[in-house]
Amino acid sequence: MRQIHICEVGPRDGLQNAQHLMPTEAKQAWIASMAAAGIEEIEVGSFVPPKLIPAMADTAEIVTFALTIPKLKVVALVPNVKGFERALACGAHKVTFPVSASRAHSLANVRMTPEQMVEEVRRCVELRAQLGAKNGGGNNGPQIEAGVATAFGCTLQGVVPEDDVVRLAVMLAETGADCIALADTVGYANPAQIKRIFSRVRKEIGDKLEAAHLHNTRGLGLANALAAYEVGVRHFDSSMGGLGGCPFAPGASGNVITEDLVFMFESMGVPTGVDFDKLMEARKLLVAGIPQEPIYGHTPMAGLPKGFRAAA
C-alpha cells in the first residue's frame, strides 16, 4: 500500500515552461509510461487560452487519451470558469486552480486578484453542484483542488505574509473546494517555514489541506518535501526530470524531481507505489519527446545505490 501519493505535474508545469514543444503523440506515450510505472495521478495539461501557452493547446486531446489509461487520475489546471467548462466537457477527474497569495503574481498570472479567483472557484463549485442536481443528485463533476500559489514568497511582491496565506486557504476551503494545496511557485521556501505554514493551515482547515507543490529553484525541494512529510503531508506534486516553472513568475524554475522524490521515500522505507526502473523507462520517453530540453535528476544520473531495496 502506498503511503505517499505523487501527482506528476511534468506534462503541465514542466512543459508550460519548456523552451521546446513536445508533440502530442510523444506526450501521450510519456504519460502512459509514467502511469505504467505506478504514478497514480498526472496533471496532464491546462485549459488556458492556447495563444497564451501554446504548449497546452492540445490539452483536450491529452485528457481524452489519459482517460483511457486504467486507474489513472487525470488532472488539468484551470484558471477560470471557461477553463472549468472545458475540463467538464472532456471529463477530467480533477481540476486544480492556481490562486496566488501574492496579489502581484495573481494579477500577472491570471489577471485577477486573489479575491476574484476565490469567486471563480466558488462559481465552479456551484456549477458542479447544479450539474449534479440535474443528473439526479450525485456529485459527479470533477474533484476541485485550489492551490495557494506563491505561498512562501514571490519574485514580484517579495515577502508574502503568512496570515495572507492562511486567510486565503480558509476562504478557498469555504468555497466548497474539495482540497487545498500549498505551492512554493518560485522556490523560496525553507523547511522551517514549510512546517510552520502547513501546520497553521492544517489547524484551520484540517484534512482539506492536501498537497505540497514544491519547486527546487534553490535546491531545497527535497528538504522541503521531507519537512512537509514530517508534519503529516502525504500528497506531493513533482515533475519528472525536474522540468517546470510558471512563465508569469520571473525566476521560477523546475519542480521537485519525481525520480529523486521516489528514491528518497522508498529508501526511507515509505512506499510510493512507483517502480523506479519503470520510471527510468518513462524518463527515456521524456527525453525522446523533447530532446533539446535539459533535464535533471540526481538519482537517475548517479544510479540507485548498490543493495537498494524498494519499500514495498
User: Which positions from 17 through 56 interact with ligand COA, judged by CB under 6 A?
Assistant: 46-49, 52-53
Is 246 a known active-site residue?
yes
Residue 309 C-beta: closest distance to Zn ion, Å: 32
Grid coordinates representing 188?
A: 523560496
Q: Of 33-41, 103-111, 167-175, 209-217, which part binds ligand COA (CB under 6 A)?
A: 103-111
Q: Which is nearer to ligand COA, 6 or 53 (CB)?
A: 53
184 binds Zn ion (CB under 5 A): no
* Helices assigned H by DSSP within 135-275: 162-174, 191-205, 221-230, 258-267
* Residue 55 · residue 92 · CB < 8 Å: no
110 binds ligand COA (CB under 6 A): yes
E strands within 2-100? Answer: 5-8, 41-46, 73-77, 94-100
**Separation CA 99–CA 213 (nearest Å):** 13
190: left (phi over 0), alpha (psi -120 to 50) or beta: beta
210 binds Zn ion (CB under 5 A): no
150 binds ligand COA (CB under 6 A): no
The single residue among 13, 43, 266, 275 that binds Zn ion, judged by CB under 5 A, is 13
The single residue among 65, 97, 248, 263 that binds ligand COA, judged by CB under 6 A, is 248
Kindly give, in sequence order, each residue whose CB lies less than 8 Å from that of residue 289, ignoring residues fewer than 6 positions away. Answer: 22, 23, 26, 27, 29, 30
Q: Of 62-70, 72-80, 87-95, 288-296, which part binds ligand COA (CB under 6 A)?
A: 72-80
**Separation CA 251–CA 289 (nearest Å):** 25
Tell me 11's DSSP state: I
* Residue 287 · residue 26 · CB < 8 Å: no
Q: Which does 4 bind (CB under 5 to 8 A by kind): ligand COA, Zn ion, none?
A: none
| Residues with catalytic roles | 246
Interface residue list for Zn ion (CB under 5 A): 13
User: What is the binding site for ligand COA (CB under 6 A)?
Assistant: 16, 46-49, 52-53, 77, 79-80, 82-83, 86, 98, 109-111, 246, 248
